[in-house]
């Protein structure tokens, strides 16, 4: 018997990157998965691939910033699979068309700020608002995993809106865990390091990726599956005592003082 047999999960932003990998890993572990994304073709393709591998999955075309669509997404899980155990809030505006316009705070476009907050933050809040009642009706337990970022723990040199939205997710996570913990709902945030998704490759040229890699303690950047395996663990009963916290899945990105590591490199280079 697989670890998540009988459980039902929704993954948002599941058409690509971290979300797609998480949907696949959860299905591999026996969960039935609602593959939710604003990208209809991508969501359908991920669900189809899961079904082809023998798993259970349906797509749900969802804009996570729109409450009626989020409610409908939760309805899909209950209608198709009869219950809800896990929500992985993961969708975000992470593409270059947004990231390149997300600037210093003195230059920020308020429309861009609102757009980022609507998806990255309001989307997570709406997901929790509608998932929790369905989880409670499913028998009084449930898990919400919120994808955030190490950049939400540290200062962002640019990307003011993205960094602030990711910082706020840690507060939202603690509030959800505090409000519904006694009813059996756990909520955990993930502070990701750099994950080598297509979105990341589009945002950062190879020399920048190499520089970023040097600021992780691992020999490589993360892969979407590195995150997916942690979500799968958190969804399982093995993680029953973990809630209200942020777990780094970051290759040590936030575990050390990057400027001192650079100093060491400069000293080593000077010594030849």
Ligand X SMILES: NC(=O)c1ccc[n+]([C@@H]2O[C@H](COP(=O)([O-])OP(=O)(O)OC[C@H]3O[C@@H](n4cnc5c(N)ncnc54)[C@H](O)[C@@H]3O)[C@@H](O)[C@H]2O)c1
Provide the binding-site residues for ligand X, judged by CB under 6 A.
12-13, 15-19, 37-39, 42, 62-65, 90-95, 119, 147, 149, 192, 194-195, 197-200
List 124, 162, 180, 260, catalytic entry: 162
Q: How far is the CB of 214 from ligand X (least distance, A)?
A: 15
Specify the residue, 3 or 118, whose C-beta has the smaller distance to ligand X. Answer: 118
**Token reading at 109:** 């476009």
Axis-axis angle for helices 160-180, 110-117 (nearest 10): 30
Least Å distance, CB 147 to ligand X, is 4
Q: Please, which residue, 69 or 138, has the CB nearer to ligand X?
A: 69
Widest CA span in the chain: 66
Torsion of CA 140, 141, 147, 152, to 10 degrees: 80
Shorter beta-carbon distance to ligand X: residue 29 or 226:
226
Shortest Å distance, C-beta 160 to ligand X: 15
CB of 183 to ligand X, least distance (A): 26
The smaller minimum CB distance to ligand X, of residues 4 and 192, is found at 192
- Please state, in angstroms and rounded to a whole number, the distance separating the CA atoms of residues 73 and 34: 8
Q: Which single residue brings its beta carbon nearest to ligand X?
A: 17
Determine contact, residues 70/64, Cβ cutoff 8 Å. Answer: yes
Q: How many CA atoms lie within 13 A of 240 on its CB side?
A: 5
Quick one: 4 or 195, whose CB is closer to ligand X? Answer: 195
The residues facing 60 across adjacent strands are 36
* C-alpha angle 246-56-131 in degrees, rounded to nearest 5: 45
Q: Where are the beta strands (DSSP E) in the chain?
A: 8-12, 32-37, 56-61, 86-89, 142-149, 185-192, 245-249
Q: Is the dihedral of CA 97, 103, 106, 111 positive or negative?
A: positive
Closest to ligand X by CB, 19 vs 142, is 19
Distance of closest approach, residue 189 Cβ to ligand X, in angstroms = 11
In the complex, minimum distance from the CB of residue 125 to ligand X, in angstroms, rounded to a whole number? 13
Residue of 180, 8, 183, 149 whose CA lies nearest to 85: 8
User: Which of 42, 41, 47 minimizes the C-alpha distance to 10?
Assistant: 47
Catalytic annotation present for 162:
yes
Cα separations (Å) of 269 from 106, 236, 262, 265? 37, 47, 10, 6
Kindly list the catalytic residues: 162
């Amino acid at each position: 018997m697989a670890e998540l047999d009988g459980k039902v999960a929704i993954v948002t932003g599941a058409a690509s990157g971290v979300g797609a990998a998480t949907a696949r890993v959860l299905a591999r572990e026996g969960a039935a998965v609602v593959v939710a994304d604003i990208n209809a073709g991508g969501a359908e393709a991920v669900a189809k691939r899961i079904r082809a591998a023998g798993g259970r999955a349906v797509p749900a075309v969802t804009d996570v910033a729109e409450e009626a669509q989020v409610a409908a997404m939760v309805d899909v899980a209950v209608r198709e699979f009869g219950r809800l155990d896990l929500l992985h809030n993961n969708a975000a505006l992470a593409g270059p068309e947004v990231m390149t316009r997300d600037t210093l705070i003195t230059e920020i476009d308020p429309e861009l700020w609102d757009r980022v907050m609507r998806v990255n933050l309001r989307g997570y809040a709406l997901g929790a608002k509608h998932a929790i009642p369905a989880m409670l009706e499913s028998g009084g337990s449930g898990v919400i995993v919120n994808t955030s970022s190490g950049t939400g723990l540290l200062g962002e040199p640019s990307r003011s809106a993205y960094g602030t939205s990711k910082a706020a997710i840690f507060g939202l996570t603690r509030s959800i865990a505090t409000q519904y913990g006694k009813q059996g709902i756990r909520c955990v945030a993930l502070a990701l390091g750099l994950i080598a998704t297509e979105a990341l490759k589009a945002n950062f040229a190879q020399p920048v990726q190499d520089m970023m890699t040097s600021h992780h303690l691992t020999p490589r950047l993360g892969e979407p599956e590195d995150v997916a395996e942690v979500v799968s663990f958190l969804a399982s009963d093995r993680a029953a005592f973990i809630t209200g916290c942020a777990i780094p899945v970051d290759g040590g990105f936030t575990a050390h003082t990057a400027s001192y590591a650079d100093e060491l490199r400069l000293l080593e280079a000077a010594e030849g």
